Amino acid sequence: MPRFVSAKPDSRLIPLPWGTPLAEWPTEHLVALPRGISRHVVRFIRVGSSVYAAKEIIEHLALHEYRLLHDLMRMGTPSVEPIGVITKRVAADGTELDPILITRHLQFSLPYRSLFAAGVKQDTVSRLVDAMVVLLARLHVIGFLWGDVSLSNTLFRRDAGSFAAYLVDAETGELHDVLTAGQRENDLVVARTNLFGDFCDLQAGGMLEESLDPLHLVDMVETRYRELWAELTGVEEFSGSELGRIESRVRRLNALGFDVAELDIQTSDDASYIRIQPKVVDAGHHSRRLLRLTGLDTEENQARRLLNDLDTFRVRTGQQHLDEAIVAHEWLTDVFAPVIQIVPNELKAKREPAQLFHEVLDYRWYQSQRENRDVPLTEATHGYVNDVLRKLPDEAMSADALAPVEGRHLVDPYDPSQGFIEAGDQEPPYDPWEAAAKDAEPDTGGGFFDVAALRAQAAAKEASKKDGKVKRSVAAKIRAEADPAD
Ligand SMILES: Nc1ncnc2c1ncn2[C@@H]1O[C@H](COP(=O)(O)OP(=O)(O)O)[C@@H](O)[C@H]1O
Ligand SMILES: [Mg+2]
């Protein structure tokens, strides 16, 4: 009898066919969604309106990953949410099956292959790299050694004009109090190797713009990581007359989206010399402020954009003297909510509300520039819905990304790792009767008994029993030998 380990049990999971190897699950339980390359059998399963990712994996790793993901969630690090582990799976014939780790499908997430499939610009790659670097630094700040940094183990969500990266595979992870420099270097080496492979792979598939060089991209990851790390944790020393530098360090960190929870300030005895070092930094400076003010839970850059709009609203309505929380409530009901309400229900799966609002603001800005007037938000929202949103693919569950790329189709839509059907496979299956009929004509058409041709036909029939493709070439070879003029 299968056993469920879960902090958040979903009883709808209980009747699923746990006694069947995941790779053989009936498709009625599955959803075809894009995903990265994986070592294990991974499927997306649907129960009611929820979608979960299921991964078949040996017991100690399943439990290890489940617990680590749990810790990461608790510490507010962007990662997929663990739901449970199903152990003690036994097939009908008594064979023991590996446990299954269940995580919640990360809504609006895009595996990198879907992002690249449409061809990305240099600028976009640079934003993806930044998102990846921020994720790695955030994990290192809390003492998480990833061990398997790669594009396939990362999911991306839109975050205003940028991306936010989420960790998806924690199987190799370790949580420490603090990471040593050596441990962080180790993650960087792994990141370089894996990302170089991922980028080369994209290049080979024609999905990387020609001007982008894999080696240059991994160098960029490393440089940016080192810069960010230095800003987050580095020691700064200055003279006692430059006290403003304490505040500017905090502001710079805020601008990067981090809050300083603890700043270590040391002064020399005569206060002529000061040394500062951030001790504890927490990511999500803007998203926390927005959450506190409005209850909206968004990505960092979306929060930045929404807060800017809120600040503008405050000035425009002359409410600077009022408490920020009161104005925020008014902004939420009078500005934000009406925009979201305009979007027809059938288009809501295309973008998260905060992302949508950000895109409407962009749309309004461009329209106002073009038409040289202040376009009202409602008008811009209608324009955005009709001109932009209707044409976009769904991203809530971006199955659209599985649509044939340049006419290519997946071998198994529930298992994108099997790749695409190759051109050769699309030929109709070999039909020995039809082939024999075709072969018969030229070979016997000479009006005499052609032994070589008959032998060729016999060989062709024999081989057709084994394998259509092999047989065809064998027959062709025998025929060519028998009748060189053919
Ligand atoms: N919760 C999830 N939400 C969205 N995608 C997921 C989720 N879990 C896994 N995936 C997708 O499945 C792929 C493989 O999962 P992963 O845990 O990396 O398996 P493996 O350990 O075999 O590498 C990922 O690259 C990701 O695209
Ligand atoms: Mg993986």
Segment 432-466, tens digit of pLDDT = 444 444 444 433 333 344 555 545 655 665 555 44
pLDDT for the residue numbered 460: 60
Q: Is 39 in the pocket of ligand 1 (CB under 6 A)?
A: yes
**Which 8-state DSSP code applies to residue 346?**
G
Atom of ligand 1 minimally distant from the CA of 154: 25
* Alpha helix ranges (H) inside 372-405: 377-387
pLDDT tens digits, one per residue of 241-282: 998 999 999 999 999 999 998 999 999 988 889 999 998 888
**Minimum CA distance residue for ligand 1 atom 12:** 35
> What is the pLDDT confidence band of residue 484, given thresholds at 50, 70 and 90?
very low
pLDDT tens digits, one per residue of 72-117: 999 999 999 999 999 999 999 999 999 999 999 998 888 887 887 7
Ligand 2 mean position to 152 CA, how many Å? 6
pLDDT for the residue numbered 458: 57
Radius of gyration of the chain (CA): 30
Q: Bin 45: left if φ > 0, else alpha if -120 < ψ < 50, else beta.
A: beta
Greater pLDDT, 403 or 164: 164
pLDDT for the residue numbered 57: 97
Straight-line distance from the first to the last Cα atom of the chain, in angstroms, rounded to the nearest whole number: 65
Ligand 2 mean position to 399 CA, how many Å? 20
Q: Which of 174-188, 392-406, 434-448 is predicted least confidently? A: 434-448
Q: Are the CB atoms for 395 and 351 separated by under 8 Å?
A: yes
Pocket test for ligand 1, best of 35, 37, 56 (most atoms within 8 A of CB): 35
pTM over 0.85? The answer is no
Q: Is 38 in the pocket of ligand 1 (CB under 6 A)?
A: yes
Per-residue pLDDT at 299 exceeds 60 = yes
pLDDT tens digits, one per residue of 132-171: 999 999 999 999 999 999 999 999 999 998 999 999 999 9
pLDDT tens digits, one per residue of 320-363: 899 999 999 999 999 999 999 999 999 988 999 999 999 999 99
Q: Are the CB atoms for 193 and 181 separated by under 8 Å?
A: no
Per-residue pLDDT at 477 exceeds 70 = no
Q: Is the dihedral of CA 223, 225, 228, 234 positive or negative?
A: negative
Point out the ligand nearest to the CA of residue 149: 2
Q: Is 171 in the pocket of ligand 1 (CB under 6 A)?
A: yes
Give CA–CA dist 87/299, Å, rounded.
Answer: 35
Ligand 2 mean position to 204 CA, how many Å? 21
Within 10 A of 324 (CB to CB), how many other CB atoms are there?
15
**Minimum CA distance residue for ligand 1 atom 11:** 35
**Minimum CA distance residue for ligand 1 atom 27:** 35
**Minimum CA distance residue for ligand 1 atom 23:** 38
Tokens at residue 244, please?
């403003």
**Minimum CA distance residue for ligand 1 atom 20:** 38
> What is the pLDDT confidence band of residue 196, given thresholds at 50, 70 and 90?
very high
- Give the residue among 410, 430, 381 at the shortest CA–CA distance from 113: 410
Give CA–CA dist 383/363, Å, rounded.
Answer: 8
Q: Is 98 in the pocket of ligand 1 (CB under 6 A)?
A: no
Q: Which long-range contacts (CB under 8 A, 24 or more apart) does 408-415 make?
A: 413/32, 414/27, 414/30, 414/31, 414/32, 414/43, 414/44, 415/23, 415/41, 415/43
Residues 6+ apart with CB under 8 A from 54: 22, 42, 43, 44, 45, 100, 101, 102
What average pLDDT does the structure give for the chain?
A: 85
**Which 8-state DSSP code applies to residue 3?**
E
